[in-house]
């Protein structure tokens, strides 16, 4: 029994990663395959579900070909994925439309008709607000980026797709359908539809009144299970396509935020982690259900049965650095036809390290796709402030790293208030956590100790693998959490913190001064 292994599929916005884990939760190897992100007029963001599948098959077969473990030793598989997305499928489970992603805001005007009313509190009808908060712990965001808004957009703008849809699924639950032929969602993956009663985590179910209020039909939504429940075995043809054997069981899995919490090793209540990927979040498990509408934070069902986690999101963090690389420094165009060079981010770190703390007075606003927390405003946008002829490329890169850190500090204050305690030590995961410079900047800006988790890019896959192990009864959360290694510890430095303090105040002032301008320039959204 010591030779058992599990597979984890982590479908991020940039593409899926497939990892192989042993019974101790250690990742033996992983493979990544990119997929295309389709950005469309009016705030659209989509991907092709068939491309997800192609990439997963390619990455899985490449991983298995490395011979890290015999295929027969793999006994379970679990998925995690980007959250707050929508895949419309027909009766046969075939996608009827591209997947609508968490970045897509085209449903904003349709959701406003659902949540608005008089008297109004921050754009929400007061009575609707009170009901939603009581039952679910949150409510559909007015930005239009939640699945309910996606479904309403399809109903209004793509009525033929809406009429033909048998189910609307989160990306993770769509992958499970492809793997097993069975339709289900987990308590945590369905939460952002805002139509489930989350008051008793032992009995999470759809609420008829909220379904009616949201304009959703129960028949088009999947049955609900726990994240650790076994959905079923792989379909025989899928096992053959992936290069696996038919005995592999598929555990329900969880969205990316909840998987990352497990994979960071932050298992105990009030133990936080910060994720830097395309987007970012700062979360921890908590023993209570609570909502702060002012900062757009709520505690929702976590991947651990009968536990909540603090739900929030900042729209763009690592995406800001990718924007700098792909749109400004190395776009594939007439100036740089070869595109970004290998190791571009390592070069970015080296250049940014040559710029002093404070980036020589250059300030970056990181809201390239609006913001969700601690302020929901899909019209916010980014920019560089205080640019002078003396600024070099290193200053621009460092300003981006610092701008994301200022945004994290803004969120940190809201999370501290929400949990009722100050987070003194914060684990950092995701692609951005691979930069020791960025980790130190986070420590200096936030005034907290930062723990750089080892192999931080693999945290989501590690979390999905942990769920697979727990689902099959091969381990417990409490056993696996402490085994996650820490690669580095970064304490705040007083001299740098003194520089960042007034810069953070100007960051907040820039938000207040520019928000009306962004609202006017982007009123069409």
Q: Is the pLDDT of residue 425 over 80?
A: yes
pLDDT tens string 184-232? 999 999 999 999 999 999 999 999 999 999 999 999 999 999 999 999 9
- Residue 82, pLDDT > 70, answer yes
Spatial CA neighbour of 121 closest among 110, 132, 107: 132
In order of 60, 168, 183, 264, the CA distances from 241 in angstroms are 10, 25, 20, 31
Residue 21: per-residue pLDDT:
97
Binning pLDDT at 50, 70 and 90, where does residue 1 land? Answer: very low
Q: Among all chains, which residue has been given the structure tokens 């002829």? A: 389
Nearest 5°: CA angle at 467, between 136 and 273?
65
Query: 448-460 burial by CB neighbour count: b if 16+ within 10 A, else e?
Result: bebbbbbbbbbbb
Confidence (pLDDT) at 298: 92
DSSP type of residue 305: T
Closest CA to 76 of 474, 448, 427, 408: 474
Average pLDDT for 276-295: 93
With beta carbons less than 8 A apart as the criterion, state whether 374 and 295 touch: yes
Across 160-189, b (16+ Cβ under 10 Å) vs e yields: ebbeebbbbbbbbbbbbbbbbbbbbbbbbb
pLDDT on residue 122: 82
- Residues belonging to the chain: 525
pLDDT digits (tens, 9 = 90+) for 66-79: 999 999 999 999 99
User: What's the pLDDT tens digit per position in 233-268?
Assistant: 999 999 999 999 999 999 999 999 999 999 999 999
- The answer on pLDDT for 141 being more than 90 is no
The answer to whether 163 touches 221, Cβ cutoff 8 Å, is: no
237 burial class (0-12, 13-18, 19+ CB within 10 angstroms)? exposed
Mean pLDDT of 93-98: 98
Instruction: Give the separation between CA 263 and CA 355, rounded to whole angstroms.
Output: 33
**pTM of the complete model:** 0.90
Q: Reply yes or no on whether the pLDDT at 283 is more than 50.
A: yes
In this prediction, residue 404 carries a pLDDT of 98
Q: Per residue in 430-448, pLDDT tens?
A: 999 999 999 999 999 999 9
User: What pLDDT, in 10s, does the model give residues 289-335?
Assistant: 999 988 999 999 999 999 999 999 999 999 999 999 999 999 999 99
pLDDT band at 3 (very low <50, low <70, confident <90, very high): confident
375-395: pLDDT as tens digits: 989 899 999 999 999 999 999
The per-residue pLDDT of the chain, averaged, comes to: 96
With a pLDDT cut of 90, the percent of the chain lying above it is 95
Classify the C-alpha dihedral 225-251-201-426 as positive or negative: negative
Residue pair 423/415 in contact (Cβ under 8 Å)? The answer is: yes
pLDDT single digits (tens) 449-501: 999 999 999 999 999 999 999 999 999 999 999 999 999 999 999 999 999 99
> Residues of the chain with pLDDT > 70: what percent?
100
Phi, psi of 20 (to 5 degrees): -110, 130
């Amino acid at each position: 029994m010591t030779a058992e292994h599990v597979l984890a599929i982590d479908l991020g916005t940039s593409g899926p990663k497939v990892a192989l884990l042993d019974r101790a939760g250690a990742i033996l190897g992983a493979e990544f395959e990119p997929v295309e992100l389709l950005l469309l007029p009016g705030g659209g963001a989509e991907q092709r579900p068939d491309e997800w599948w192609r990439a997963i098959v390619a990455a899985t077969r490449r991983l298995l070909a490395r011979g890290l473990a015999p295929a027969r030793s793999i006994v379970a598989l679990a998925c995690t994925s980007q959250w707050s997305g929508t895949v419309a499928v027909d009766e046969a489970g075939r996608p009827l439309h591209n997947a609508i992603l968490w970045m897509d805001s085209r449903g904003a005007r349709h959701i406003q008709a659902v949540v608005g009313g008089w008297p109004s509190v921050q754009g929400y009808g007061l009575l609707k607000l009170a009901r939603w908060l009581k039952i679910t712990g949150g409510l559909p965001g007015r930005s239009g980026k939640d699945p309910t808004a996606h479904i309403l957009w399809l109903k209004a703008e793509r009525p033929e797709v809406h009429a033909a849809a048998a189910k609307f699924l989160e990306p993770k639950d769509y992958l499970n359908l492809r793997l097993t032929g069975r339709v289900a969602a987990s308590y945590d993956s369905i939460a952002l539809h805002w139509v489930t009663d989350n008051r008793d985590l032992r009995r999470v179910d759809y609420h008829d009144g909220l379904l009616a209020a949201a304009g959703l039909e129960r028949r088009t939504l999947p049955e609900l299970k726990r994240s650790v429940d076994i959905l079923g075995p792989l379909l025989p043809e899928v096992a053959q396509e992936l290069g696996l054997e038919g005995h592999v069981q598929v555990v329900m899995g969880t969205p990316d935020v909840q998987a990352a919490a497990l994979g960071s090793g932050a298992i105990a209540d009030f133990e936080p982690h910060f994720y830097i990927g395309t987007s970012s979040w700062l979360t921890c498990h908590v023993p209570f259900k609570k909502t702060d509408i002012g900062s757009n934070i709520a505690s929702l069902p976590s991947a651990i049965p009968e536990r909540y986690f603090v739900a929030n999101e900042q729209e763009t963090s690592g995406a800001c650095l990718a924007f700098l690389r792909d749109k400004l420094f190395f776009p594939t165009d007439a100036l740089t036809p070869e595109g970004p060079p290998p190791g571009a981010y390592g070069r970015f770190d080296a250049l940014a390290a040559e710029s002093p703390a404070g980036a020589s007075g250059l300030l970056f606003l990181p809201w390239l796709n609006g913001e969700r927390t601690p302020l929901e405003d899909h019209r916010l946008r980014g920019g560089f402030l205080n640019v002078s002829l003396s600024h070099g490329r290193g200053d621009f890169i460092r300003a981006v790293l610092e701008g994301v850190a200022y945004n994290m500090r803004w969120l940190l204050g809201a999370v501290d208030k929400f949990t009722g305690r100050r987070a003194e030590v914060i684990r950092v995961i995701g692609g951005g956590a691979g930069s020791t410079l960025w980790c130190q900047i986070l420590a200096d800006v936030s005034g907290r100790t930062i723990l750089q988790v080892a192999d931080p890019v693999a945290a989501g896959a590690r979390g999905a693998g942990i769920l697979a192990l727990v689902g099959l009864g091969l381990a417990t959360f409490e056993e696996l959490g402490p085994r996650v290694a820490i690669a580095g510890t970064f304490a705040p430095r007083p001299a740098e913190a003194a520089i960042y303090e007034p810069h953070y105040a100007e960051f907040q002032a820039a938000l207040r001064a520019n928000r009306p301008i962004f609202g006017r320039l982007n009123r069409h959204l």
